[in-house]
Amino acid sequence: MSTLVFLEHDGSSIPKGALGVLSKAASLDSDSAAALVGSGVRELAPEAARFGAARVFVAEDPQLEAPLPQTRVDVLSRLVQEQGFDTVLFAASVLAADVAGGLSARLDAGLNWDLGDLVIENGELVGKRSAFGDTILVDVGWTTTPRIGLIRSGSFDPAEQSSAGEVIDVDVAIEDFSTAAALVARDQEEQAGPSIEEADILVSGGRGLGSPEAFSLLEELAAALGGAVASTRAVVDSGWYPYPTQVGQTGKVVSPKLYIGCGISGAIQHKVGMQTSQTIVSINKDPHAPIFDFSDLGVVGDLHEIVPKLTELVKARRG
Amino acid sequence: MKIAVCVKEVPDAGPARRMDPDTLRADRSGDRSLNPFDLNAIEAGLRLKDAAGDGEVVLVCMGPDRALESMRRGLGMGADRAVLITDEAAAGSDLVATSYVLARALEREGADIVLFGQQASDSDGAVLWSAVADRLRMPVISQIAEFDVADGRVIAKRQTEFGYDRISAPLPAVLAVSDAVNEPRFPSLKGIMSAKKKPQDVLSLADIGVEPDRAGTAGSRTTVSALSPPPSRGDMQKIEDDGSGAEKIMEFLLERKLV
Ligand SMILES: Cc1cc2nc3c(=O)[nH]c(=O)nc-3n(C[C@H](O)[C@H](O)[C@H](O)COP(=O)(O)OP(=O)(O)OC[C@H]3O[C@@H](n4cnc5c(N)ncnc54)[C@H](O)[C@@H]3O)c2cc1C
Ligand SMILES: Nc1ncnc2c1ncn2[C@@H]1O[C@H](COP(=O)(O)O)[C@@H](O)[C@H]1O
């Protein structure tokens, strides 16, 4: 195997998820390489070496500054072809998924996504993927090389090791259409109040609340329980609740003692942010909502009826 | 303004969502409907056409022939035309093959905007648009929560792991919208009545110039080799709220010493 791991970064650090995939790759192939693509990213190379990269390919160019996918497809497709990598791995993210998809088309290379594990069976790389809302585990493979894999968030932890981390510069050549899309602004929302990652109890609300006003029901329950309020991307994108409260792939990963999901369907991208909660209770009016597949207690019903009653019961108990 | 919307037919949500253990493909025997996430893309297309004052919204799908019935829901919402690519040789297409077939079909349409939904509910891939955009050599913006089109450009807001980005791109462009971008309309009675009469092209791979070895299993690069049940989460209970739901939750929390 000769593996290349794409390392996303925010300019100053590499997310844990990407380092985890790199460490996993190093455990399967001691000669694993990493790709750092951007502007001013060379200084991140030692970090890549620390978590398993024998070689670090650095592509630096002002055109690569914006974290947009298509320029990265140009860089990676050349690199994979010139160096003959047979496997290219990504930690799932909005950027990584778009890069992986574009690379798959550019190289006519098979892409398997949502992989929770990678193993070698009979000398072949096999991906373990859960499908259909995690109701089934599937073994997936590739018929040709290069093989492309997108790893589900949180699957592998970074493991420190001392790898050579030889830095190699990459020539950058970018297609015209790849720079057509341009980043206009990046808004980072400031955190207000305590982080949901610290709360022992989270009362979380989704689109089933029906309106931003209904979040007050959850705030009252959270106050009675001594917890905090969390949310889904659907309500954050709709402007109902602030981004720092969002749980999931593009939000926070939480593992409280108790997670009460109200009006949340339980999409995979939400689940990856809360599945390690010790106890999960959910209220949803759709008996087939996927969240019931991973709730310790699921109540099929209307949250507008149940939540206020529960708040009263908790208050009465606490006196 | 010409808008193409890529839509997929998927198994209905609910207990029937499963894989066929014999073919190792999605079980397509149960009830089927349009991928719910694609309704947001259709709605976005209809609003763009309305705002532009003229144009056309074309639904493009690769799938089995009865997918046309699911596509009628989109025609009922107001889309003008449906194009279904259906072929025995396209069955079992993975991302490489599907993106190739759709790109060939989309090239014939020459749309100013190609819209996708947030994800297919039976694959949760959320990757197809960028493969198609690469083949069409068009800019792509994904996970769009809000967007505007003006003066031949699109400007879009979308969420990533780092917060919100605003991205701008010239048309033609490929756009994938999130399920929060709008509230899809329901087809009106009049819409449903007229849907059947709207143009519906059913095309084979040969019709759109796709070589048989670029589609289906032959054109695919990935395989599925085994199925197994996932590890269980232990004891789980699901109850129907009969008015005592809150009490039941309270009992459960007390039992687990969580209050
Ligand atoms: C790349 C990517 C990243 C993503 N990242 C995230 C992420 O970080 N976090 C995240 O949450 N999502 C994320 N998503 C989106 C995710 O796929 C879902 O779209 C989203 O989680 C749905 O949010 P929801 O459950 O609030 O809404 P819906 O899916 O609309 O669910 C609402 C639920 O409320 C129920 N309901 C309605 N009325 C009531 C009532 N009165 N009482 C009780 N129940 C009711 C309905 O039955 C339904 O199940 C991501 C998607 C992609 C493609
Ligand atoms: N067979 C298909 N035909 C047309 N469009 C599709 C097809 N499969 C997926 N799509 C589109 O691609 C989006 C993302 O699908 P996926 O990457 O499979 O999750 C969907 O929301 C649809 O807009």
Domains A3-179 and A201-318 share a fold: yes
CB distance A297–B236 less than 8 Å?
yes
Please tell me if the CB atom of residue B117 comes closer than 6 angstroms to any atom of ligand 2.
yes
Query: Scanning every residue of chain B, which has its alpha carbon at the shortest distance from the alpha carbon of A188?
Result: B163
Question: Residue B245 and residue A298: Cβ atoms within 8 Å?
Answer: no
- CA-based nearest distance A175→chain B, Å: 9
Rounded Cα–Cα distance for residues A307 and B93 (Å) = 45
Q: What angle do CA A234, A236, A242 make, to 5 degrees?
A: 160
- Mean pLDDT to the nearest integer, B167-186: 97
The pLDDT assigned to B28 comes to 58
Question: Can you give the pLDDT at residue B227?
Answer: 82
Q: Is the CB of B37 under 6 A from ligand 2?
A: yes
Mutate to test the interface with A, among B12, B138, B227, B259 (most CBs of A within 10 A): B259
B-facing residues of A in 238-297 (CB < 8 A) are 238, 243, 249-250, 257-258, 260, 268, 279, 281, 283, 287-288, 292, 294-297
DSSP string, A249-299: TTSB----SEEEEES----HHHHTTTTT-SEEEEEES-TT-GGGGG-SEEE
Distance (Å, rounded) from C-alpha A89 to C-alpha A101? Answer: 12
- Candidate from A135, A260, A309 with C-beta closest to B230: A135
**pLDDT value at residue A130:** 84
Q: What is the pLDDT of residues B74-105, one digit of tens each?
A: 999 999 999 999 999 999 999 999 999 999 99
Q: In this structure, are residues A163 and A52 in contact, taking their beta carbons and an 8 Å threshold?
A: yes
Of A238, A260, A307, the CB nearest to B180: A238
The more confidently predicted of residues B63 and B14 is B63
Per-residue pLDDT band at B16 (split at 50, 70, 90): very low
Q: Report the separation in Å between the CA atom of B176 and the middle of ligand 2, taken as the mean of its atom positions.
A: 10
In order along chain A (319 residues), what is the average pLDDT of each group of 10 residues? Answer: 96 95 95 96 96 97 97 98 98 98 98 96 94 84 98 95 94 97 86 83 98 98 97 96 96 97 96 96 96 96 98 92
Burial class (CB in 10 A: 0-12, 13-18, 19+), B25: exposed
DSSP A146: S
pLDDT at B10: 93
Work out the minimum CA distance from A133 to partner chain B, whole angstroms.
Answer: 8
CB-based contacts of B189: which residues, under 8 Å, 6+ apart? none
What confidence score (pLDDT) does residue A191 get?
65
pLDDT of residue B124: 84
Cβ atoms of A2 and A84 within 8 Å: the answer is: yes
pTM of the predicted protein model: 0.95
Pick the CATH number of A201-318 from 3.30.70.360, 3.40.50.1220, 1.10.3720.10, 3.30.950.10: 3.40.50.1220
Q: Cβ–Cβ contacts within 10 Å for residue B208, how many? A: 20
> What strands, in cross-sheet order, belong to the sheet with A111-121?
A166-169, A55-60, A33-38, A3-7, A87-91, A147-151, A111-121, A124-131, A136-142, B222-228
CA distance A193 to chain B (A): 17
Confidence of residue B41 (pLDDT cuts 50, 70, 90): very high
Instruction: Give the model's pLDDT for residue A49.
Output: 96
Say if B135 is an interface residue toward chain A (CB within 8 Å): yes
Amino acid B252: pLDDT: 97
Give the residue extent of every domain in chain A. 3-179, 201-318
Q: What is the pLDDT of residue B208?
A: 98
* Nearest residue, CB atoms, B161 vs list A93, A225, A305: A93
> Minimal Cα–Cα distance from A207 to chain B, Å?
9
Give residue B27's pLDDT band: very low, low, confident or very high (50, 70, 90).
low
pLDDT grade for B226, boundaries at 50, 70 and 90: confident
- Using CB atoms and an 8 Å cut-off, which of residues 40-59 of chain A contact chain B? none
Provide the β-strand partners of residue A66.
none
The domains of chain B, with CATH numbers, are 2-219 (3.40.50.620)
Band the pLDDT of B20: cuts 50, 70, 90. low
CB contact under 8 A, B224 and A138: yes
Q: Is A231 on the interface with B (CB under 8 A)?
A: no
Q: Ligand 2 center to residue B7 CA distance, Å?
A: 6
CATH 3.20.20.80 fits A3-179, yes or no: no
Which residue's C-alpha comes closest to atom 1 of ligand 2? B62
What pLDDT sits at residue A68?
A: 98
Nearest to B94 among A106, A110, A260 (CB): A110
How far apart CA A295 and CA B238 sit, in angstroms, is 8
What pLDDT does A239 receive?
Answer: 94
Mean pLDDT of chain B: 93
CA atoms within 13 A on the CB side of A193: 11
DSSP summary character for residue A153: T
Six token digits for residue B106: 């989309």
HSE-CB for B134 with a 13 A CA cutoff? 29
On chain B, the residues whose CB falls within 8 A of the CB of A295 are 236, 238
Q: Which ligand is nearest to the CA of B142?
A: 1
